[in-house]
Structures are given as structure tokens and as C-alpha cells.
Amino acid sequence: MFGMVRRSNHATALAGWIVATGAMGLVVQADTIRAASGAPYGGVLLLALAPVLAAGTVTVALLLRANLLMSFAQERFYRFIAEIPGDAPELCAPAVLQLQRLTAAVRHRETLTQQALTWAYAAGIGVLGWSVAAEAMALGH
């Protein structure tokens, strides 16, 4: 379980970094976007930005969903621990069930964060490709 958490933490951090860096790159290129919009094929270039933004949005949505899922599972587990009597056996059936639920939530989180990382790679590659095309159009090549 700890390995799954570690992998999903790394995926979360990298996906978040890729999307944040891409967003900052687009903000920095605001003048390039304005210049490219006046170019003959500027509308096509701006339209090509839509899938890139969509990939970034999907990444953020998956990361938020993974966070909410894990927060809910942890809260439920901590609440169970707080309510269990001190003299209850450690491996009673309800405790095992709660551990299984927590493990399932961790697995689901890992899956969601890996999907988010895939989408973040797509968004990052899209921002890079879009930036090169926008700069070429802005310079008139």
C-alpha cells in the first residue's frame, strides 16, 4: 500500500508541475498569441489550443478526483479508528473491511494519478508543439 501511495504522490507532483509549467508558458506567450491571431492562419492556431487546454483540464480534474477520493477514505478510516472500543480485537471483521476499503481507495487513487500523468504529458507536448507553431507564425515563417 505504501508503494502505491509513493507512486501516486510522484505522479501527482509531476502531473501538477507539467500543467502548471504549461499554463505559465501560455501566460508568458500572451503577446505571441495576440500576434498569431492576426496572422493568416491565426484562427486555426487558436483553435489548436483547445485540445491542449482540454488535456490540462482533464489532468486537473483527475487529480482533484483522486484527492477527494483519498480524503474521503482517510476520513472514514480515521473515524472508524476513533470509534472502535479499546478492548476490541485488532483484526476484527469491521477493521479488516475498513483496511480493504482504504486499500481499494489507494489503488483507485494510483490509477487516477497515472491517468492524470498521461494527460499531463499530452498537455505538455501539446503546449510545446503549439508554442513552436505560434512562434513560427508570429515570425512569419
The alpha carbon dihedral of 41, 46, 50, 52 has a sign of positive
Q: In which domain, by residue range, is 81 found?
A: 2-139
Q: What pLDDT, on a 0 to 100 scale, did the predictor assign at position 115?
A: 96
Q: What pLDDT, on a 0 to 100 scale, did the predictor assign at position 33?
A: 75
Q: What total of structural domains would you count in the chain?
A: 1
Q: What pLDDT, on a 0 to 100 scale, did the predictor assign at position 91?
A: 63
Nearest alpha-carbon partner for 80 in 91, 94, 100, 70: 94
Q: What pLDDT, on a 0 to 100 scale, did the predictor assign at position 60?
A: 96
Q: What pLDDT, on a 0 to 100 scale, did the predictor assign at position 2?
A: 62
Distance of CA 59 to the CA centre of its chain: 4
Q: How far apart are CA 133 and CA 131, in angstroms?
A: 5
DSSP state string for 39-78: STTHHHHHHHHHHHHHHHHHHHHHHHHHHHHHHHHHHHHH
What is the chain's alpha carbon radius of gyration, rounded to the nearest angstrom?
Answer: 22
Report, as ranges of residue numbers, the positions in the chain whose pLDDT lies below 70.
Answer: 1-2, 39, 88-91, 140-141
Instruction: Check if the beta carbon of residue 119 is closer than 8 Å to that of residue 59.
Output: yes
Q: How far apart are CA 104 and CA 108, in angstroms?
A: 6
Q: Which helix (H) or strand (E) holds 1?
A: none
DSSP state string for 109-127: HHHHHHHHHHHHHHHHHHH
pTM: predicted TM-score of the whole model, two decimal places: 0.81
Q: What pLDDT, on a 0 to 100 scale, did the predictor assign at position 98?
A: 82
